[in-house]
Each structure stands twice: as structure tokens, then as C-alpha cells.
Homo-oligomer: A and B are copies of this chain.
Amino acid sequence: MRTDQLPKKTMPVRNWAEKYTQIRNQSIEICRPLEIEDYVVQPIVDVSPPKWHLGHTTWFFETFILKPNFPGYEVFDSQYNFVFNSYYETVGAHVIRTDRGNLSRPSVSDVYRYRDYVDEKMIEFLQGDYLTESLQSLLELGLNHEQQHQELLLTDIKYILGHNPLFPAYKNDLISPSIKINTSEFISFSEGVYEIGFQGEGFCFDNELGRHKVYLNDFEMASQLVTNREYLEFIEANGYQDFRYWHAEGWDWVKQNETKSPLYWHFIDGKWMNYTLNGLQEINLDEPLCHINFFEASAFASWKEMRLPTEAEWEVASNHFEWGKRWEWTNSAYLPYPGFKKEAGAVGEYNGKFMVNQTVLRGASVATPIGHSRNTYRNFFSTHLQWQFTGIRLAK
């Protein structure tokens, strides 16, 4: 059970403007500690420059809500579609993703002016009488999209600062929530038919829909996440040097990148240090492990002679343990639920087209915005990516 979860309820129409403002401001809040330069760079293709996130989420509201539905709306700058579009193939040519880090313009202040302009129009729009039911869905999608990018903002900012040789802190006064891990126990679940998938009235993404039955064998789930201490044992047992624990593709990844530890771990002067949003610090052994990819998660589980849970097991078990600190790698591929249908139009591109060669993560992390998590949420990433706030929960 995630404690910070908002109660599911239908939004009264008059509160949309307030909710819009609150969520949009949160993105700006996340960027407040940045220098202008930090908004611009893109050290690897998976990371986007913060100013791109700010522009892209704004573009979503402009393109899908204001432009087609707000009479008389004039786009802020017609060239921004080209710059801030992401994957949406239906909405014109887009800057190839690797190029985002080459664009010094629009400047950060231009992007903020763009946000102000669109926010002002959105408030006008929301206070008008335009909000049909399908527009409400789209608006809610836009706000959840904004929240997804808030999480990406944090992960990308951490990457940008954490890969700078000066190791600047994001915030010097950031209080890391004290995370106490109790001894892990295994909770047992019995064989049988279970139901998974979203139901109820709140918002969910299309990929969670289609509540359906699954048949599960007996299984056990760890009550706690794997800690830094446990993972350090794996490192010290030469886990990164023994191919037997790894998938073939994971072993190639280890050898090619000469990987020897999770992302952000540095062995300096005989000590394991960890780049955190507060800067470089000694490893806290009692904290849950963070920033490992699927290959590492699997190898660790294999070394423990256990395994990662499937996403169905995770969802079924999720009311019996605390989650929300780390995105938890499952051993499930990201595939459609029975009866899944892509929606028509650009928004229909949202999830379905990624349903291949991706692995599901469940739960949420310390970087996930409050209210943007539920136990049916299906996050997904490629198996080699470490830069999310990811962790391990063992199953057997």
C-alpha cells in the first residue's frame, strides 16, 4: 500500500483549473534549483534537456487541447511544434531525438514565456464552458503526462549533474527521506485465479485497462526491497565477473561497458561513494538499492537463487507490502492486456507502439509525483537503462 496515494475520486469540473495550475507549477518547482546551463544539455540519448521537458509538456496542451478546441487560439510560435514534438508521428516532422541537446534556442526564458502564455490560455479555457467528457479525459491525460515528465525531469537532472566532473549538488539542503528498511520476510500467496488491471473511477493509462483474470502458481514475495548492503555483497562476491548469473545480452552489456557497480557508484580512495541529489556521499548501506538495470536486477536475483516477480504477482501481492520508494523491475515483458485497443489519432500513439522489447516496472519511486501512482500502473523501460530510480524486490 502506498501511503501518499490520493483517494480516487472524480474531479468536480470547477476544480480543473486549480488542479491544472498546481500540477503545472510543480514542474517549475523541480527546475528552480537549476542554473540556466543545466536546462540545455543532453549527455545521453535517453536523457532530455530540462527545457525540452518544459516545452514538450506545454506543447501537449497547446496542440491537443487549445488548438483544436479553443476558438480563436493562436499558437505561440508555429516553429515550436517542430522543436517540442516528441514521438507523435501524426503531428508533423520532429527533431530527431539525439538532437535535443544541440538546440540553444528557444532560450530558457522563451520556454518559460511559452509556458506562461499557454497556462494563461488554458485557465481561460478551463473556466469557460468547453470541457466535454472526452476533453476531460484528454486534459487528465495531459496532466498525467506532465507528471510523468516531472519524474523524468528529476532523473534527467540527476544524470546531467551526476555526470559532470564537478559533481554539483542539485540542492544542498535536500533532506533525503529517512528510509528505514526492516528485515525482509517472504509473504506467501496461493495458486489460483486472480484479477489484475485497473478498475474504478479515477484516471488510468490505456495500458492498465482490461481488468482480467490470470492464473498464478504458488509464489512468495519479499516484504522489503534489496538494500545497498545486500547488493554490495553481490559486488564483493564478484557478481559482475561471473557470466553464470547474467543473461547473454546482459553479459555483453557488462563487458562492453566494463560495468562494476550501479550507476552513480564510484570507488574512490578505497570507499564506495554515491552521487546523490545532495552531491557525492558515502554509500548508505541501509537504503534500498537504486539505479540498476534489468540485467543487474536479474543477475542479483540469480545469485540469490531467487527470481524477479512477474507483474501479475506483484500486483496481486502489492497490498501486503509497502511500495513507492523504487520502481521495481519485474520479469514481465511489456505487452498488451487482453482486449487492448490503440485509441485513434495522435493520443493513440501514447502507449501501444512501445509494446515490444520493453520490460515492466511496478510501483513508484521517490521521484514520482504525489498522486501519480497506483498498484496497476505499468511503467516500462529497456533492459539496459539504469538512470531511473529503480530497485529490486525478490520473489521465489
A188 interfacial by beta-carbon distance below 8 Å: no
Task: Choose among B41, B87, B105, B247 the residue that contacts A35 (Cβ–Cβ < 8 A).
Answer: B105
Task: Choose among B39, B83, B335 the residue that contacts A331 (Cβ–Cβ < 8 A).
Answer: B335
B residues near A160, Cβ cutoff 8 Å: 102, 104
Pair A108/B37 contact, Cβ less than 8 Å: yes
Nearest-neighbor residue (CB-CB) of A219 within chain B: B338
**Given A294-B356, A356-B383, are A102 and B248 neighbors across the interface (CB < 8 Å)?**
no
Interface 1/0 per residue, A151-163 and B, CB below 8 Å: 0000000001101
A164 interfacial by beta-carbon distance below 8 Å: yes
Pair A101/B41 contact, Cβ less than 8 Å: yes
A304 interfacial by beta-carbon distance below 8 Å: no
A323 interfacial by beta-carbon distance below 8 Å: no
Can you list 21 residue pairs at the A/B interface with Cβ under 8 Å?
A: A35-B105, A37-B104, A37-B107, A37-B108, A38-B104, A42-B102, A79-B166, A82-B165, A89-B244, A101-B101, A103-B165, A105-B164, A105-B168, A193-B193, A212-B217, A217-B339, A248-B353, A295-B356, A331-B335, A332-B333, A357-B383
B residues near A353, Cβ cutoff 8 Å: 246-248, 251
B residues near A36, Cβ cutoff 8 Å: 36-37, 107-108
B residues near A331, Cβ cutoff 8 Å: 335-336
Known: A37-B40, A43-B102, A106-B166; 8 extra A-B contacts, CB below 8 A, are: A95-B165, A104-B164, A105-B164, A213-B215, A247-B353, A247-B355, A295-B356, A298-B356
Taking the closest CB of chain B, its distance from the CB of A386, in whole angstroms, is: 16
A243 interfacial by beta-carbon distance below 8 Å: yes
Task: Choose among B89, B335, B338 the residue that contacts A251 (Cβ–Cβ < 8 A).
Answer: B89
Pair A105/B37 contact, Cβ less than 8 Å: yes
Number of copies: 4
Task: Choose among B43, B87, B248, B357 the residue that contacts A87 (Cβ–Cβ < 8 A).
Answer: B248
B residues near A166, Cβ cutoff 8 Å: 79, 83, 105-106
- Interface positions of A from 7 to 48, Cβ below 8 Å from B: 35-43
B residues near A332, Cβ cutoff 8 Å: 333, 335
A250 interfacial by beta-carbon distance below 8 Å: yes
B residues near A108, Cβ cutoff 8 Å: 36-37
- Interface positions of A from 223 to 254, Cβ below 8 Å from B: 243-244, 246-251
Task: Choose among B163, B164, B333 the residue that contacts A335 (Cβ–Cβ < 8 A).
Answer: B333
- CA distance in complex: A338, B396 (Å): 10
A123 interfacial by beta-carbon distance below 8 Å: no
A267 interfacial by beta-carbon distance below 8 Å: no
- CA distance in complex: A106, B36 (Å): 11
- CA distance in complex: A383, B335 (Å): 14
Pair A193/B215 contact, Cβ less than 8 Å: yes
Nearest-neighbor residue (CB-CB) of A250 within chain B: B356
B residues near A6, Cβ cutoff 8 Å: none
Pair B354/A357 contact, Cβ less than 8 Å: no
A214 interfacial by beta-carbon distance below 8 Å: yes
Taking the closest CB of chain B, its distance from the CB of A175, in whole angstroms, is: 23
Pair B104/A35 contact, Cβ less than 8 Å: yes
- CA distance in complex: A291, B176 (Å): 53
- Interface positions of A from 199 to 214, Cβ below 8 Å from B: 212-214
B residues near A164, Cβ cutoff 8 Å: 102-105
